[in-house]
Amino acid sequence: MGYLCLLLMYPPSGKETTMSRLKTIVWADDCARIIDQTQLPNELVYIEIETAESMYDAIKTLKVRGAPAIGIAAAFGLYLGVRTCPDTDSTEQFLHNVRVTADYLASSRPTAVNLFWALNRMKMTAESLKHESAGVIKKALLAEAKAILEEDIRMCRKIGEYGYAVLKDYTTILTHCNAGGLATGEYGTALAPIYVGKELGKEFKVFADETRPLLQGARITAFELMAAGVDVTLICDNMAATVMKSGKIDAVIVGADRIASNGDTANKIGTYGLALVAKAHNVPFYVAAPFTTFDLSIATGKEIPIEERDAQEIINGFGKPTAPETVKVFNPAFDVTPHELITGIVTERGVIYPPFGQNIKVILS
Amino acid sequence: MGYLCLLLMYPPSGKETTMSRLKTIVWADDCARIIDQTQLPNELVYIEIETAESMYDAIKTLKVRGAPAIGIAAAFGLYLGVRTCPDTDSTEQFLHNVRVTADYLASSRPTAVNLFWALNRMKMTAESLKHESAGVIKKALLAEAKAILEEDIRMCRKIGEYGYAVLKDYTTILTHCNAGGLATGEYGTALAPIYVGKELGKEFKVFADETRPLLQGARITAFELMAAGVDVTLICDNMAATVMKSGKIDAVIVGADRIASNGDTANKIGTYGLALVAKAHNVPFYVAAPFTTFDLSIATGKEIPIEERDAQEIINGFGKPTAPETVKVFNPAFDVTPHELITGIVTERGVIYPPFGQNIKVILS
């Protein structure tokens, strides 16, 4: 991968730059170009990704993150992994390479279901063309990855519209982690209603949890909301309860990495505690996610595997050690919020309310 | 102030160093010697403090922190502030200087009541000697500061004994911030039962919240527990809910900065959210604090002023910026946990249970 562009955009200027111009991932010059989100908010660095291995690394190390964006990235990664196969390969050999590459990319992160969904869709595209040549399938795979990106942007816009209808009478919204434009192709999921509101002249005030350990809220949510001219206040995760108690929060909205059949929702670590705190203060708690986030193969959140990440993220994440080097650390990247704590799930087809087990099936069918 | 000793103690060795040998604050060589806790866990730096101004700075910048330790530090600070007054000063002039210095030191931090308690005790000592010379009062003030330190160590040992009686049948304890030996003269408050247990052969397992933004849990609690050979696991604040849900936590114990007449407790930001999360999982939630932490002049926690600290602690605390430089930040240093969420308050005279309003009066009288 090559570093395409190094642009110091710090602090972001709300007037001149709007987030709709920042593209999480694009296909250009025959490669996938992504924003390296590990460099935010200090530098806006674009990386050109030309191989499946580079894409695996970008997903694994969170250069690209957010469940929908991971799916899009993996789709392009699959194409990148097989495009160098000779067009003269047998279709059987080519399809074998597709499956091997998909399995490899699927192992980059275990929790977000969009990753597996996107890779499956790419595999099915390939399999459906099993009577065609390797060259034809290759072209179809690139087209499919582009379609996944375009559909994601349209889905997020719809989520924004349905979410805005739910949130429009509120003023102050709290969010956790980043489920914004930079977690998707554009618009985001949890932040999409904020952006749709902005277009319609509604000025929400957003409180952003910084989201330890990797500070996606501080680095990415605060960055993209400021860039879009949205009023944002940064807090530490452990301050949400006291802000709610003071009556400052009208509603919470977060993204999701995987939603079980009963509505149990895996999302960034800290979401579950936040949902408990919202419940205690009678603050409505919304999840925003496209349908690709639902996993109807599992009944409840208990079946969702939770990724545990390296201790160094907690004890040495910011340039200097912040804990004894040899301390034992527990670092789960996600938690599961039971459906009982969720007010509604905002999707591109409308808002799902309890009973989730029943209503998810209805809206998905 | 001078830097006395620079000793790299990283990682701490559980075998050779026990926390009982580390002294938060001592009087030696005619000055107060404190551990600069902002340097932990990387360096164990002792600072010699020779003036009230240096002590004010040490309290303000959290070189010395923890409600009981702040009280002790302020008491020595008051003596340091008046010891250079000529012995030939009139008693009236000297007492005026005592009051001015006390007011000055009291303005260093607004929330912990021990600060005001210690300064009042020092002022009363001075006033009680208003028929004596400046020189005599001066000596009495130094003796009083030393007595406050010694009493604190004895109180914390008693808190440890009463707390151990409450916790001894549990195994896994979660704590927030640092209410350990380094927050007091020795032993600590919340961690005192752990240390008393250790002496008696009980091996608790402790989960320590890292405690954003200043990471007292990661830097100080993990450090001192490891140094004492206690099994400690570090988590981010937002992971406590998921750890409790997995059934890993038997009880929570935290310190306190001020306790109102009805039991409402101000403590490090994040304590309130943690108490809500403990309640949701039926995990007992204990507060440990000496009587100097109670403020019977206030009826409820609503009257406790909450210190707001600088945005830089959140956005630039790790050696490099972690959020856009100009982002709006809300940074309250404390929150108030309502008494309904507290199982019991462990003091040096025993454990207080609900109804707190009634039982606090009984045990204090």
pLDDT tens across A260-312, in order? 999 999 999 999 999 999 999 999 999 999 998 999 999 999 999 999 999 99
Single out the residue of B46, B53, B56 nearest to residue B5, CA to CA: B46
Work out how many CB contacts closer than 8 A connect A with B: 207
Contact by Cβ (8 Å): B268, B334: yes
CA distance A105 to A113: 13
CA distance A78 to A82: 7
The 8-class DSSP code of residue A304 comes to S
| Residue A365: band (very low, low, confident or very high) from pLDDT cuts 50, 70, 90 | confident
Residue type, A192: A
**A-chain residues near B238 (CB < 8 A):** 209, 211-212, 237-238, 269-270, 273-274
Q: Which two tokens stand for residue A223?
A: 């960055």
Kindly provide the b/e burial profile for residues B165-177, where b requires at least 16 CB atoms within 10 angstroms of the residue's own CB. Answer: ebbeebebbbbbb
**B-chain residues near A307 (CB < 8 A):** none
CA distance B264 to A296: 45
Choosing from A36, A209, A237, A257, the catalytic residue is A257
Chain B contact present for A285, CB below 8 A: no
Provide the percentage of residues in chain B whose pLDDT is more than 70.
94
Chain B residue closest in CA terms to A266: B242
Residues 6+ apart with CB under 8 A from B165: B351
Across the interface, whether the CB atoms of A234 and B272 are under 8 A apart is answered no
The 8-class DSSP code of residue A172 comes to E
Q: What pLDDT, on the 0 to 100 scale, is given for residue B18?
A: 45
The owner of tokens 């600069």 is: B36
Q: Residue A25: beta bridge partners?
A: A34
Chain A contact present for B135, CB below 8 A: no
Contact by Cβ (8 Å): B125, B141: yes
CA distance A240 to A217: 13
**A-chain residues near B10 (CB < 8 A):** 321, 324-325
pLDDT value at A12 more than 70: no
CA distance B184 to B34: 11
Residue A274: alpha-carbon gap to chain centroid: 18
DSSP E strand stretches across B191-326: 205-209, 231-235, 251-254, 258-260, 265-268, 285-288, 294-295
pLDDT value at B268 more than 50: yes
Contact map slice: A 242-271 vs B, CB within 8 A: 242-243, 245, 269-270
Residue type, A69: A
**A-chain residues near B318 (CB < 8 A):** 317-320, 322
Overall residue count recorded for chain B in this entry: 365
Across the interface, whether the CB atoms of A277 and B277 are under 8 A apart is answered yes
Contact by Cβ (8 Å): B101, B82: yes
The 8-class DSSP code of residue B308 comes to B
Q: What pLDDT, on the 0 to 100 scale, is given for residue A42?
A: 87
Chain A contact present for B297, CB below 8 A: no
Chain A contact present for B312, CB below 8 A: no
Smallest Cα distance from A220 to chain B, Å: 8
Give the H or E element holding residue A175.
Answer: strand A172-175
Give the H or E element holding residue A152.
Answer: helix A134-167
pLDDT value at A10 more than 50: no
Across the interface, whether the CB atoms of B211 and A269 are under 8 A apart is answered no
CA distance B62 to B47: 13
Sign of CA dihedral A329, B322, A156, A253: positive
Could you write out the DSSP letters of every residue in A105-124? Answer: HHTS-SS-HHHHHHHHHHHH
Torsion of Cα atoms, B15 then B19 then B22 then B24, to 10°: 160
Give the H or E element holding residue A103.
Answer: helix A91-106
Strands across the sheet with B44-49, in order? B2-7, B44-49, B31-35, B25-28
- The mean pLDDT of A61-81, rounded to a whole number, is 96
Smallest Cα distance from A287 to chain B, Å: 18
Q: Using CB atoms, which residue from A239, A276, A315 is nearest to B277?
A: A276
SS3 assignment, position B334: strand
Contact map slice: A 329-348 vs B, CB within 8 A: 329-332, 335-336
Q: What pLDDT, on the 0 to 100 scale, is given for residue A346?
A: 98
Provide the percentage of residues in chain A whose pLDDT is more than 70.
94
| Residue B23: band (very low, low, confident or very high) from pLDDT cuts 50, 70, 90 | confident
Interval A139-176: pLDDT, tens: 999 999 999 999 999 999 999 999 999 999 999 999 99
SS3 assignment, position B71: helix
Provide the percentage of residues in chain B whose pLDDT is more than 90.
87
Interval A238-260: pLDDT, tens: 999 999 999 999 999 999 999 99
Could you write out the DSSP letters of every residue in A50-85? Answer: -SHHHHHHHHHTTSS-SHHHHHHHHHHHHHHHHTTS
| Residue A111: band (very low, low, confident or very high) from pLDDT cuts 50, 70, 90 | confident
- The mean pLDDT of B309-320, rounded to a whole number, is 88
Chain A residue closest in CA terms to B331: A235
SS3 assignment, position B353: coil
Interval B323-358: pLDDT, tens: 999 999 999 999 999 999 999 999 999 999 999 999
Contact map slice: B 168-207 vs A, CB within 8 A: 207
Contact by Cβ (8 Å): B274, B243: no
Q: Using CB atoms, which residue from B270, B315, B320 is nearest to A319?
A: B320
Q: Using CB atoms, which residue from A226, A231, A243 is nearest to B330?
A: A243
Single out the residue of B230, B184, B227 nearest to residue B207, CA to CA: B230
Q: What pLDDT, on the 0 to 100 scale, is given for residue A271?
A: 98
Kindly provide the b/e burial profile for residues A131-163, where b requires at least 16 CB atoms within 10 angstroms of the residue's own CB. Answer: eeebeebbebbbebbbebbeebbebbbbbbbbb
* Predicted TM-score (pTM) of this structure: 0.89
How open is the CA angle A253-A257-A260, to the nearest 5 degrees? 95
**A-chain residues near B234 (CB < 8 A):** 314-315, 323, 327-330
| Residue A185: band (very low, low, confident or very high) from pLDDT cuts 50, 70, 90 | confident
Contact by Cβ (8 Å): A332, B242: yes
Q: What is the mean pLDDT of chain B?
A: 92
Across the interface, whether the CB atoms of A323 and B219 are under 8 A apart is answered yes
Across the interface, whether the CB atoms of A322 and B218 are under 8 A apart is answered yes
Torsion of Cα atoms, A45 then A46 then A50 then A55, to 10°: 70
Q: Which two tokens stand for residue B108?
A: 């260093």
Contact map slice: B 148-167 vs A, CB within 8 A: none
Contact by Cβ (8 Å): B263, B275: no
Q: Using CB atoms, which residue from A218, A280, A315 is nearest to B218?
A: A315
Q: Using CB atoms, which residue from B12, B211, B269 is nearest to A324?
A: B12
Q: ipTM of the assembly? A: 0.89
B37, B245, B300, B327, best to mutate vs chain A, most A CBs in 10 Å:
B327
Across the interface, whether the CB atoms of B329 and A212 are under 8 A apart is answered no
Chain B residue closest in CA terms to A302: B246
